[in-house]
Amino acid sequence: MKADVLRRGGTAAHVAGSQVALAASNYILLAIAARHLDPAGFASVSAYYLLINTVGRGLFAAVELETTRAVAAGTHGMRAALRQTGVLLVGALVLLGLAAPLLTGGVTTVALLAVGAVTMAAAYLVRGPLAGRQRYGRYAATFWIEAGVGLAAAVVLTVIDEHATAAWIAVLALAPGVAPLVLWAPRLRLQECHPPDVRLPEGHPPATAAAHDAAPLGPVLWSAALLLAGQGVWNLAPVLVTGRLTDAATLAAGFTTVAVVVRAPVLLFPTIQAMLLPRLAGGARTPRALVAAVVAAGLVWVAVATVAVPFVAAFVFATTAPPAPWIVALLALSIALGAVAQVAQAQLVAGRRTHAAALAWLLGLVVLLGIGLVAAPPVPAATIGQLAAAGLVLGALVFAGRKP
């Protein structure tokens, strides 16, 4: 029993470590790019990173989650995952096309947006079956490989002293596609997506290929909407500023850098939900102590971020024009509200009300885009838009959670 607990703990640490490594790799790449590009170039790379994470990871992570559940249960296989990925890839390309005017860099950047969507689709298409079959070593390896490729490419660009913005963007676009080529494409077969130890209840008719490949799109689409809108609320404010301040690149780069650093706790949001879901799915209520701890941590982050983030932006990212402290404080406050919103969201997801949570985040995203695109000046508009979106989402989730 003890050995089993240790094994499970080691596996969890391996998987979590790989995802932290990928996030750290991206941040290091941005920090290095900030010292090799002019402010306009760095703002463009950062905006690309945030946009492709919003659309790419936001949409295709939903396929991973659904495929993981389906493969573990033996209910459907790879063809269903391919169909779901294809539908979401079309949606991702449409959304990225609509957002392309907010990016600088011309046709090359737009083409790299399409490439990034395809490579991310491939990466998450691989991860679902691996997680469903509990191949956590190879699952974690997909993140380690992507992180390693990104860092290695950043080192190469540093050594050759590359100053072309497109080269740095290409690293972000191509890195997710390496792991599928290394781990999956040569080996995975359709039958590998069905666990060999699945046993159907007595009297249950044998599963057919059609039954395994049929999967409703509805749950995947709602999950994708939830993840996409959530990513959008935390990522799109700097993209809006960059798109509106094309004639003030230094100011845009300063805001983007600060926003990217302030959003670091967002990386922990999935952990909050993962910790809560098993308890809430059993009918328990959200622990008040946990809510109090999340609120306290959020307030601490507001205080720490207001003081420390401008220093980090200047020291690590060589930012010369960080925004005013009140901008940093409001951005951090929006993150604190978002952390509490994750607790309320977990209650809805555990109750199989993903659509309600998705609608709350979509409403918040609309508010952010409305304020960030129209109000002036751009930096305060984006900041207030993100704060208003986070507050609205939290209120909507709490209200939805009180309804039967």
Q: What is the pLDDT of residues 216-265, one digit of tens each?
A: 667 788 888 999 999 999 999 999 999 899 889 899 999 999 999 999 88
**Interior angle at CA 73, CA 71 and CA 74, nearest 5:** 60
Cα 41 from Cα 157, distance rounded (Å) = 14
- Return the amino acid letter for 375: A
Q: For 31-49, how does the pLDDT look when each residue is reduced to its tens digit (9 = 90+)?
A: 999 988 999 899 899 999 9
The reported pTM is: 0.84
Q: For 61-74, how does the pLDDT look when each residue is reduced to its tens digit (9 = 90+)?
A: 888 877 777 776 66
Cα 108 from Cα 111, distance rounded (Å) = 5
- Using CA atoms of 7, 8, 9, 15 in order, give the dihedral in degrees to the nearest 10: 110
Query: Looking at residue 4, what is its pLDDT?
Result: 52
Residue 83 banded pLDDT, cuts 50, 70, 90: confident
Residue 75 banded pLDDT, cuts 50, 70, 90: low
Neighbouring residues of 30: CB distance < 8 A, sequence distance ≥ 6: 42, 45, 46, 49, 260, 317
Neighbouring residues of 89: CB distance < 8 A, sequence distance ≥ 6: 60, 117, 118, 121
**Interior angle at CA 232, CA 381 and CA 37, nearest 5:** 75
Phi-psi region of 283 (alpha: psi -120 to 50; beta: other; left: phi over 0): left
Residue 152 banded pLDDT, cuts 50, 70, 90: very high
Secondary structure (3-state) at 340: helix
Cβ atoms of 347 and 282 closer than 8 Å: no
Cα 52 from Cα 117, distance rounded (Å) = 7
Cα 170 from Cα 182, distance rounded (Å) = 19
Query: Looking at residue 33, what is its pLDDT?
Result: 93
Residue 376 banded pLDDT, cuts 50, 70, 90: confident
